[in-house]
Structure formats: C-alpha cells, structure tokens
Chains A and B, each alone.
Chain A
Amino acid sequence: MSSKAPSRRFRTAVCLVAALALSACSSASPATTAASTPPVPANPALILATTTSTQDSGLLDELIPAFQKATGYVVKTVAVGTGQALTMGQQGNADVLLVHAPTSEKPFMDAGFGVDRRLVAHNYFLIVGPKSDPAGIASAKTANEAFAKIAAAKATFVSRGDGSGTETKELAIWKANNITPKGQSWYVQSGQGMGATLQIASEKNGYTITDNATFIANTSKLQLTSLVQGDPSLLNIYHVISVNPVKWPKVNSVGAKAFADYVTSAAGQDLIGGFGKAKYGQALFVADAGKNEADLK
C-alpha cells in the first residue's frame, strides 16, 4: 500500500497548523503598557471592578492607559455593574472599585469590606425615550412624576435588571411611587450593560433611565431622546473604594491606593473632567475630588 503521499500531506498539515499556532503564541503576548519613567511597582497587577457605564461611555479607555503609563501598574478592568463589583469586593476578588450606587455602598462600607472611599466625579441620570413620547413624560417636572406617567400609560420601560448602580436608582424611583414594575407586561429587564440596554430601548421604542455619559457616547446609534433631566434626585455620584486588606490580605492595597490617588489627583481629575469635550462637544463627567458631597447638584 503506497501511503507515502497521504502521510506526508498529513505531516505537512500538522506542521503548518502547529507553526501557525506557535507564531501566534509568541506574538500574542499581552500588550502591557509598563511606563518607562516611573519604577515598575512590586506587584503591578491590579484588579479594578467597575460599572458598565464607565466602560460604555469610553471613559476607561482613556483613564486606564493614562494611569498605567503614569504608575506602571497593569490594570485588569472588569466592568460588571455596581452590584457585582461590590460583591467582588466582598469576596476579595477585586482590589479597587469604581462604583456609583451610594445606597448600596453604605452597607458595604459599614460591614467593613471597603476602606478609603473617596468622591471622584458626578454626572446625571436622564430618562430617555422615543421622540413620539407615548406616555407624555416630557412635561413631567420630576423623575417620580415621569415614572408614574410611564406606569399609567403602560409604556415599555427597559430596566438594567442587573443589580447595577443605574438599576438601584431606577428601583428607588419606582419605590417612591409605590409601584412594583416587576412582572408587568410593559416592564423589560435586559440584564445587560447600559449600552446594550439603550439599544434594546431604542429598538423597542421604549423608555429607560441612563447616565448621561453613556447616552451621549451612544446617541448617534440610537433613536432615543432625553425627555426628563435636571431633577436633583437624578444626580449620579461616582466613588472609588479600596477593598479592605484586613479582611482580604491578598488584595493589592498599595495598587488600590495608587489608583484612588490617581483618579483624585489633578491629572486624573483633569482627564475625567475633560473627557468627551473633544469628541462630543461637552464634558460627560464633572470632576469632584475633595468636594463636600452635600454641595453637589
């Protein structure tokens, strides 16, 4: 049986695929951006658990590389939503958190899971919906009133449904109205990040609540318009929290502090406060480090 040709082909094939995979291995090393000027820290790996809004607005795409370049840390950013970020902090699976649900952060801090909670920035929530505004919320003066109108009109409302800071704010407004939207036919829970939720609302001609940064960053792809804004209850505040090393000795507390220091430093605050101006013509966040929280509006 002359089997020289088939087995040679087979060997060639295996060699080709192996060579392809091996060359891919050597070139696919992670694109770490260790700075050339500051010394590389002893433990450069840092896990940052944060919200999808900071990712979907594009802020992290600027902030993280700047931080890495300035300090030499290599950040593993896991954008999961405030609820999951706080859980990761509780379980010691993250080093530092950047979150925006003060009502959820308080029990987290009280239980001793976080240390060094600092105000970073704020922006605003918006209630957005289709231009046709079937529930007529554009005339509402407060967020509570807008939600009441949506429920009364049984208009489609898309919720994050993922334990995020945005959902926490949304549920608080429903509660203030004594409405239970869960289980109602017009209430849709996406279970996904802000960008995806906005897309669903856009496709279904529904309403949703969003932070203005993600909305502005995505608005060109959506058929939604901002209908209710400016209500003081729609203030959206971001804090940075380091995970308590006493509870979880393995956390990179030096790195967490470096991150918290950076985002509250002049360089970090300038970046955050200026983010979006070039691309969208307006700032997407207001930098607040060091301010008194009660003074924010």
Chain B
Amino acid sequence: MDDLLQITLLSLAVSGVATSISLLIGLPLGTVLALSVFRSRGVVLSVVNTGMALPPVVAGLAIALLLWRSGPLGDLNLIYTPTAIIVAEVVIATPVILGLSAAGIGQLDPRLQVQLQGLGASRYQTVWWLWREARLSLLAALMAGFGSVISEVGAAMMVGGNISGQTRVLTTAIVLDVGRGDFGTAIELAGILLALAFIVNGVLTWAQQSGRRG
C-alpha cells in the first residue's frame, strides 16, 4: 500500500514550502500595511482579514480552474502535481500571515518607530527592530499560516488529485482510507499529522517564548 514515510515527507515539504513562500510575501506586505497610512487602508485590511476565512476548497477550485488543461495556464502542465498544491496553499496561507503580521506590528507603540528613527536607524534597521519587538505575534502568525495549510484537505484534493506516490498527502490519504473503511490506517495517519504539527509548532513556540524568562 502507500508508503507512510513518503506521504509524511510530501505533506511536510509541500506545506513547508507553501508557508515559507507565504511568509516571504505576507510579512513584508503586512509590515507595509501596518506602518503606512493611506485612505483605503481600512478596506484593504478588511479584504485581507476576509482572506483569512477563505475556505481552502474554494482556493483549490480557483487554482484548478486556472491549471486545468482547458484553463488559461493549462500549458504549464501543473495540474495534479505537488507544485499545484503549493500554489493553492500559498493562496490560503498568505492572507493569514499578512493579516496577523499587520495586526502584530500595528499593535506596537508608535513611539518606538519614532525613537528608532531618532537614534539614526535606517529604514531596514527600523523594520528589523520592529519585527524583533513584535516577534511573539509574528511567530504566532507563522504558526497560524503553517496550521492552515498542513491541515487542509480541500485544495490538496482538487488540484493534487490525491494520486498515490505523487500527490497523496496526509490529509487526502486519511479521506481516502476513511472512504475505503480502513479506519485503522486513517487513525495512524491522523496521529502522524498531529505529531508533525506538534513538533513544528513546538519548535516555533520555544523560539517565541525565549525572551520571556525572568
């Protein structure tokens, strides 16, 4: 039957890459959103926060419509590949990281930014120190982003196709096993998924809580 190790590593790889890309997009944009002042900022924030509630299966459907052979990006031959799942998961995780980063940075005392600039910090140094100050919220944002993609099944099913040995990840394998009545295997996979999430989040929480001793 399916190789449990291969499925687990694929889940980790796909969700890990998707979360990393979402971090690269979401954190800078979230910072810009938090620190800049412009008229439609409220609207933009609302849109981003709505994006956090985007159902993964809807994101999957949207990406599938693009990537199907009959769709506009069909020539890329990405449908039913792990790359397609990564694309869909980036769509799911980016609003989460963006919104929570914006909230985390927006919560900082505005005088801190003024003080940093007063001390002669360049724009990049200011942002770096603001990130360090807000690291509790930013790490929470990262954990939320990872959580949103490691646990989703709708998008992976739609754009990945749950193909054995190619795009079958932990969540889609669980659905398949339940559909076949293999509850024992399904529970094993569920255990692995929870353990994986616990390990990753454990490491990130340890880093998050580091400054709080004494």
Asked if A218 is at the interface (CB within 8 A of a chain B CB), the reply is yes
B20, A21: Cβ atoms under 8 Å?
A: yes
Interface flags, A216-231, vs B, CB<8A=1, else 0? 0010011000000000
What band does the interface of chain B fall in when counting residues whose beta carbon is under 8 Å from A? 35 or more
Contact flag A21-B204 (CB < 8 Å), given A31-B3, A93-B79, A218-B181: no
Contact flag A13-B16 (CB < 8 Å), given A78-B163, A195-B179, A248-B69: no
Measured in the bound complex, the distance between the Cα atoms of B166 and A45 in whole Å is: 12
Contacts of A33 in B (CB 8 A): 165
Asked if B26 is at the interface (CB within 8 A of a chain A CB), the reply is no
Q: Considering only CB atoms and an 8 Å cut-off, how many residues of chain A contact the other chain?
A: 45
Measured in the bound complex, the distance between the Cα atoms of B6 and A272 in whole Å is: 28
| Segment 171-191 of B: residues with Cβ below 8 Å from A | 178-181
Contact flag A6-B210 (CB < 8 Å), given A24-B16, A76-B80, A76-B166: yes
Smallest beta-carbon distance B117→chain A, Å: 18
Interface residues of A (CB under 8 A from B): 3, 5-7, 9-10, 12-14, 16-18, 20-21, 24-25, 27-28, 30-33, 45, 47, 56, 61, 64, 74, 76-78, 91-93, 192-193, 195-196, 199, 218, 221-222, 248, 250-251
B206, A13: Cβ atoms under 8 Å?
A: yes
Binds A, one of B7-15, B28-36, B41-49, B100-108: B7-15
Find the B residue at minimum CB distance from A79: B162
Measured in the bound complex, the distance between the Cα atoms of B124 and A203 in whole Å is: 61
Contacts of B207 in A (CB 8 A): 9-10, 12-14
Contact flag A78-B80 (CB < 8 Å), given A6-B211, A14-B207, A56-B179: yes
Contact flag A28-B10 (CB < 8 Å), given A3-B211, A93-B69: yes
Contacts of B9 in A (CB 8 A): 24, 27-28
- What 9 A-B pairs are tightest by C-beta distance, nearest first? A21-B16, A13-B207, A31-B165, A221-B181, A28-B9, A9-B210, A24-B12, A6-B211, A24-B13
Measured in the bound complex, the distance between the Cα atoms of B16 and A6 in whole Å is: 23
Measured in the bound complex, the distance between the Cα atoms of B68 and A123 in whole Å is: 33
